[in-house]
Chains A and B, each alone.
Chain A
Amino acid sequence: MSAFSLSNVGMSYGRSEVLSDISIEFSAPGLTAIIGPNGAGKSTLLSVMAGLLTGYRGQCLFNGREVRSWSRKSFTRLVSFVPQRLRLEFPFTAEQVVMMGRSPYCDGLFEAPDDHVEVEKAMMMTDTLEFRSRDFRFLSGGERQRVILAAALAQTTPVLLLDEPTTFLDLRHQVSIYALLRQLASAGRLVITVTHDLNLAAAYADRVIMLRKGRLAAAGPPSEVLSSERIRSVFEVEADVLTGPHGKPWILYGGEARHT
């Protein structure tokens, strides 16, 4: 079973401290949403866990072993990371980008037939097959985001870390991506995603981590974490938290404005 265990994790860029004293556990299965205002350290936390920032303080263990001491190859067979966006200089096609997700399994110069099968599956799940041979640079923002998600799915890892995977997506694709993440979590994977959309977090996640100025503000099931007082103190907006049709929290912003 895959699990992260963080204790007193901190991270600074130069003199500015972006993360401090984060102690938390994650274990499969489950869908966790990390929320917080801009600059709260959400992406930094995710990058530390993905082993991309090795200069962190404290302890960040994955399956009992410090993240920075894993070999990249074996770590990336277990943990995939979806960046917020990807800018390409060169004319790689969508399919070539997804195929790069198979890299941890390739030793030689070429991919095996299995790799092509996984790529096909991942592109089917993300609805990206129709533009598989198109130049990635000329896809729309939403299409690109689905392609990079497909690359992570093709990596077939038990853990997925995603940095705002639905920022550029239209409503239909936002919902279908979260439904897909939910499905992956229910099938036994550990999915951790950064998001700005509190309602998506409330509707799909079974755990919400709230960060504020680099520190842990709250962690727990959406119904506990997402209260109007906490949203007010962390995000500095007025919000009403109602109960949605499925018993999930449903957040309405700008309460102040509506009352006047």
Chain B
Amino acid sequence: MVVKPVTRRRLWTSILFCLLVLLAVAVTAPLVGSTRIDYTAALTEDSIDREILFRARIPRVLLSLMAGGVLSVCGVLFQALLRDALATPYTLGVSSGASLGAVTVICFGLELFAGFPSIWVGALIGAFLALLLVLVVASEGRRMSSFTLLLSGVTINSICLALILFLQTFATFGQSFAIVRWLMGGIESVEYSTLLWLAAVTFPVLAYVFLTGREWNLMAVGEEWAAARGVNVTRLMLTGLISGSILTGVVTALTGPIGFVGLIVPHGLRMRLGADHRLLLPCSFLLGAAFLTVCDTASRTLPTSGEVPVGVLTALLGGPFFIWLLKSRRRSLWL
């Protein structure tokens, strides 16, 4: 494979291609579903068709687009931060940290605080603490093996899961029902105002992350490498940590932990585009959005008796992919 250097032109053509894929998915997805919609009725009069299209399908598609894009970007970010292609919010336990934060908020009945969805704050703090824990474990040696990283992720996952189940025993029946969805992620229809909040929080963070793409290249090589080439490593790591927690936190607060999006999409893109983060970050957002939306559309149209949460589907796809990735990595890269 010959990878050309990244120029503005190559950036824009790649983004344009991914954008076209995204648009195709975004336009088709709301048209697919278990109920047939009469579009003239939906667009012209107050009808049940209109309700389904504008209250159920479109917000759901928008949420899956945002969640998929954000989770992919988080994958790329964590992979660069820890220099490991297997790092994602899910495998590191950051998603479970966010879940735990959200569940804690639900259990103490603080769901709305001063009009702002405080579940988000809980999830954000949970994600931040989990990520901080990973980084503390990671910085023990100069560079840790994937095994250590994944083991610490598994451990954080189990601890958070145990705490969620523990908290559930204190919860009322209604709260208990709300908590179960934090165990496996799924996309549901949400209010447009929630989507606006989500966009308002994530877009500035995403823009910041995209604009530091060149520095993330050096970081993905090594901290010392970056520091010897003019990057303020402490600042970049700190902002990466904060950005990653915000992104994972707010998305997890809305969807619960959805795994493997941040693994499949960035890996596929790296095989095609190379490792340059200036391309990888925006393209991961666009294709991650398309990927999760396709998965979610499949999950709500599958001929099962109940709806399959999309997290189940991505785990079924991503799990085997993860194992394949683990097996196919060159021995020398392990050391």
- Cα A90 to Cα B270 in complex, Å, equals 8
Q: Which of A70-127 contact B (CB under 8 A)?
A: 72-73, 75-77, 80-81, 83, 86-93, 95-97, 99-101, 103-104, 106, 108-110, 116
**A103-B214, A103-B229, A103-B230 known; A91+B275 contact, CB < 8 A:** yes
Whether the Cβ atoms of B218 and A90 lie closer than 8 Å is no
- Cα A97 to Cα B220 in complex, Å, equals 11
List the one stretch of B1-9, B22-30, B170-178 in contact with chain A. Answer: B1-9
B218: chain A residues at CB < 8 Å are: 100, 103
Q: Which residue of B lies closest to A106 (CB)?
A: B214
**A100-B221, A103-B214 known; A90+B228 contact, CB < 8 A:** no
- Cα A160 to Cα B213 in complex, Å, equals 27
Q: Which of B98-116 contact A (CB under 8 A)?
A: none
Q: Which residue of A lies closest to B213 (CB)?
A: A109
Q: Which of B207-227 contact A (CB under 8 A)?
A: 211, 213-215, 217-218, 220-222, 224-225, 227
Whether the Cβ atoms of B274 and A92 lie closer than 8 Å is yes
B184 interfacial contact with A, CB 8 Å: no
Whether the Cβ atoms of A86 and B229 lie closer than 8 Å is no
A155 interfacial contact with B, CB 8 Å: yes
Whether the Cβ atoms of A104 and B227 lie closer than 8 Å is no
How near does chain A come to B329, taking the closest CB pair, in angstroms? 9
Considering only CB atoms and an 8 Å cut-off, how many residues of chain A contact the other chain? Answer: 38
A179: chain B residues at CB < 8 Å are: none
- Cα A48 to Cα B275 in complex, Å, equals 30
- Cα A50 to Cα B226 in complex, Å, equals 12
Q: Which of A34-55 contact B (CB under 8 A)?
A: 47, 50-52
Whether the Cβ atoms of A72 and B231 lie closer than 8 Å is yes
- Cα A81 to Cα B270 in complex, Å, equals 28
A196: chain B residues at CB < 8 Å are: none
How near does chain B come to A218, taking the closest CB pair, in angstroms? 28
Q: Which residue of B lies closest to A97 (CB)?
A: B221
Whether the Cβ atoms of B228 and A76 lie closer than 8 Å is yes
How many A-B contacts if CB must be within 8 Å? 101
B49 interfacial contact with A, CB 8 Å: no
Whether the Cβ atoms of A86 and B222 lie closer than 8 Å is yes
**A109-B278, A110-B7 known; A89+B230 contact, CB < 8 A:** no
B85: chain A residues at CB < 8 Å are: 89-90
- Cα A83 to Cα B226 in complex, Å, equals 12
A137 interfacial contact with B, CB 8 Å: yes
Q: Which of A170-226 contact B (CB under 8 A)?
A: none
Q: Which of B73-118 contact A (CB under 8 A)?
A: 79, 83-85
- Cα A76 to Cα B233 in complex, Å, equals 13
A133 interfacial contact with B, CB 8 Å: yes
B83: chain A residues at CB < 8 Å are: 89-90
A81: chain B residues at CB < 8 Å are: 228
How near does chain B come to A147, taking the closest CB pair, in angstroms? 12
B136 interfacial contact with A, CB 8 Å: no
A95: chain B residues at CB < 8 Å are: 5
Whether the Cβ atoms of A89 and B5 lie closer than 8 Å is no
B278: chain A residues at CB < 8 Å are: 109-110
List 18 A-B residue pairs with CB atoms under 8 Å apart, sorted by A's residue number.
A72-B227, A72-B232, A72-B233, A81-B228, A83-B222, A83-B225, A86-B225, A90-B79, A90-B85, A90-B270, A90-B275, A91-B270, A96-B274, A100-B225, A101-B229, A103-B229, A104-B229, A155-B229
| Residues of chain A having any CB pair with chain B under 8 Å | 47, 50-52, 72-73, 75-77, 80-81, 83, 86-93, 95-97, 99-101, 103-104, 106, 108-110, 116, 133, 135, 137, 151, 155
Supply 9 further A-B pairs (C-beta < 8 A) apart from A100-B229, A103-B229.
A86-B225, A87-B333, A87-B335, A91-B274, A99-B5, A103-B231, A109-B214, A135-B1, A135-B3
